[in-house]
Amino acid sequence: MWRLDRLGRSLPHLIEVVSTLDARGVGFRSLTESIDTTTPGGRLIFHVFGALGQFERDLIRDRTKAGLAAAAARGRKGECKPVVTDDKLKRAREHLANGLSIREAAARIKVSKTALYAALEASQSEAPDHSATDFRHAVRSSSENNTWRGKLHV
């Protein structure tokens, strides 16, 4: 095994896995930590390192909880900043009103279609139905694709 902490999720789980291996006559050896459970000293080191790994995971969990609580106290909800800003949403609506498809409007404001749809929905705005335009564009693109038309020469 490369590292001891890669073997188990928690100290009890780690001990259970190594005990199961031991019961089947299989020794455990960590390549990076010089642990060999076939010797008494190796078993001692195994338990010490396992306990330290568990301690480290517990510290990380506690720090994460404390950080989230501090952020909540400052009014942060843990959400990311919106990709589609108010300005981009306004420009996207203008593009849609001028007949562009959702895909084209999203490309113009440099966001994904999914992000634009989500922003339109979140703003309680109905996105115009451009499915016919999207379909015509897809058919036109396909018919102009030389590979699909069988005209690709390698």
Taking Cα atoms as reference points, which of 134, 26, 141, 93 lies closest to residue 18? 26
Tokens of 144: 């102009």
For residue 123, tell me if it sits in a domain.
Answer: yes
Tokens of 61: 């969990």
Average the pLDDT over each of 81-95, 118-132, 140-154 and give the range with the smallest value. Answer: 140-154
Tokens 């005209």, residue located: 151
pTM for this prediction: 0.41
pLDDT tens for residues 66-86?
A: 998 998 888 887 677 778 999
Look at residue 49 in the predicted model and tell me its pLDDT: 77
For residue 47, tell me if it sits in a domain.
Answer: yes
Residue 21: give the domain boundaries: 4-73
pLDDT tens for residues 14-73?
A: 888 888 888 998 888 877 877 888 888 888 888 887 788 788 889 999 999 999 899 888
Domains in the chain, number: 2
Under DSSP, is residue 35 helix (H, G, I), strand (E, B) or coil? strand
For residue 150, tell me if it sits in a domain.
Answer: no
